[in-house]
Structure 1
Amino acid sequence: MIATTSAARARCVATIVAALLMAGCDAQAACADLPAQGEGTVAAVADARTLRFDDGREIRLAGVEVDAADRGEAVAALSARARGQHVTLRGADDAPDRYGRQPAFVFVDGEAVSLQVALLAAGHVLVGLGIPQPDCRAELLAAEASARDSKRGLWSSGAALKNAENVEDVLSRVGRFSVIEGRILSVREAGGTIFLNFGRRWTRDFAVTISRRILGPFEAAGIAPKSLENKRIRVRGWVERRSGPQIAVRDVGQIEVPGAR
């Protein structure tokens, strides 16, 4: 289960994020505590997650993914917030990705929250993967939750949150980053892989897979896979088709237990 301290921290972060999104708030955002990794002026927006500086550098917004259905609106929202602005970059390191882009959390001068939090709270992007800092991840999830609860942006129709029981709908997301929610009916292990099964037809229904080799971070976060049986969870990642639709979990941040205390 999720540890009580983790749930309390998430509630605290949600309160801070809500306050930070209000004008004039002096609270400190968790992602703003990451090390500074440079600065620059945004000359253009290359896509929904990529900024181009006036010196030619390209910056990739860390920690978020874009749903294809909302890509145009996400580009417009990012352009409105970032183009022509001087920004500060923060992150665990400044190593470029394989395309030469620097992943970072981006803060427009004078703004308390990152562009990521602003876009999440408006419902233009989804929380992604690779966010090792728990408080920063919780801040992003809280911003996404505020948009989902208020039905803003891509959450307005309810279609962005997929139902694990609707196998055909999940299959339509193969190859796409998705957020899926449902109740785990059984937890099984085979060949060093743990299967969280959302249906009784193991070869056809949606499942989440976790390698036993990465159980350490899950246990440290208070998540024991077996304890998730009969619980509703929310999982995010790229949908693959094996015998049925699956998401392979490689990051503890991919799993949430809604309402955990």
Structure 2
Amino acid sequence: MTEYGETSSHPTTHEVWLPRSATSPGHVTQRLRLIVLFLLVAANTAFAAPCQFESQGEGRVAGIVDARSVRLDDGREIRLSGIVPTATTKQALTSLLAGRDVMLRSADDTPDRYGRQSALVFIGESDTSVQAMLLARGDAVVSAEIVDKDCAAALMASEAAARRQKMGSWADPSAIKNAESPDDILAEIGRFAVIEGKVLSVRQAGATTYLNFGRNWTRGFAVTISKRTLAAFENAGMALKSLENRRIRVRGWVEGTTGPRIDVRLLGQVELLGANEPTGVRP
């Protein structure tokens, strides 16, 4: 999966919004699927504590800057936190937010070095973030950058619902890469990818821990975790050595020259998978 910006030339793969006048069986079926999907998202998040980020102001969306940023009528540029765009994100974002009044929520409102304010974006008085809406339709992927447990869980539940329904980008069988196919992962160098596989060994070299998915440590896919990140896993009760012979899902930016690598810096980048869990479905 690739992050697409304003100049992306990749084609849109599906309609973002169905016209109200659509009455064909295909349109009706698609509309029913969307209704069921959002009910599933609501059910998955109903028992979780609400996201407690504070309000960081409000405004009206004056324009869509790119697939992950919008500009408000007061001049502020807002970067949607918690997601990585796909090929359809910008079109979906335009349909959702153009000219709409929005509320911003985040841990703080400090702009990044480009002057953008990162936040979860809510339309009007809605309790569901725009990010969750995009994820539930398969128009975005969770980035794992939001570390607040409740907020992160809500986003992951939305993405999981889309995977179950094979919505949007998840309709592509290659959306989730197989850790046993390092050449396929190498093709994603410089891109954000979601990869599943069985950890064959856990090794430490200096200040770095390696989760190896292949027996050839040089060419096989591996996850790297620095010593500074290790504490987050330990505090969550996840001993890295215990991941040997376990199936996991990992997400992040693919690096490497001979063998593909993902450098894990956040706990949310790694998910344990059940022994009998089908590919692409989260328990």
TM over 0.5: yes
Partner of 2:226: 211
Partner of 1:18: 41
Q: Percent identity?
A: 53
Identify the match of residue 165 of structure 1 among 180, 191, 205.
180
C-alpha contact 1:207 1:247 (8 A) present in aligned 2: yes
**By percentage of residues, which structure has more helix?**
1
- Residue 89, structure 1, aligned to residue 104, structure 2: yes
Q: TM-score, normalised by structure 1?
A: 0.86
Identify the match of residue 247 of structure 2 among 225, 232, 236.
232
C-alpha contact 2:247 2:274 (8 A) present in aligned 1: no
Aligned residues: 240
C-alpha contact 1:154 1:160 (8 A) present in aligned 2: yes
Q: Deviations over 1:159-196 (max 9, x none)?
A: 21111111111001100111111000000111121100
| Paired residues for 1:39-118 under 5 Å | 39-67=58-86, 70=87, 73-118=88-133
Whole-angstrom CA distance in 1 between matches of 2:100 and 2:48: 21
Q: 1:175 to 1:26 in 2, by over 3 A?
A: closer
Partner of 1:30: 50
Q: 1:28 to 1:142 in 2, by over 3 A?
A: closer
Letter in 2 for 1:113: T
Say which SS state the counterpart of residue 30 (structure 1) adopts.
coil
Whole-angstrom CA distance in 2 between matches of 1:201 and 1:66: 33
Partner of 1:9: none
Partner of 1:155: 170
Say which SS state the counterpart of residue 87 (structure 1) adopts.
strand
**Which consecutive unaligned segments of at least 5 residues does structure 2 have?**
1-37, 276-282
Quote how far apart the aligned CAs of 1:47 are: 1.1
Q: 1:225 to 1:45 in 2, by over 3 A?
A: same
Identify the match of residue 194 of structure 1 among 209, 230, 252.
209
Partner of 1:256: 271
Letter in 2 for 1:60: R
Q: TM-score, normalised by structure 2?
A: 0.80
Q: 1:247 to 1:27 in 2, by over 3 A?
A: closer
Partner of 1:5: none
Quote how far apart the aligned CAs of 1:17 are: 6.7
Structure 1 runs (4+) deviating above 3 angstroms are 25-29
Q: Deviations over 1:26-52 (max 9, x none)?
A: 988733x21111110001111111011
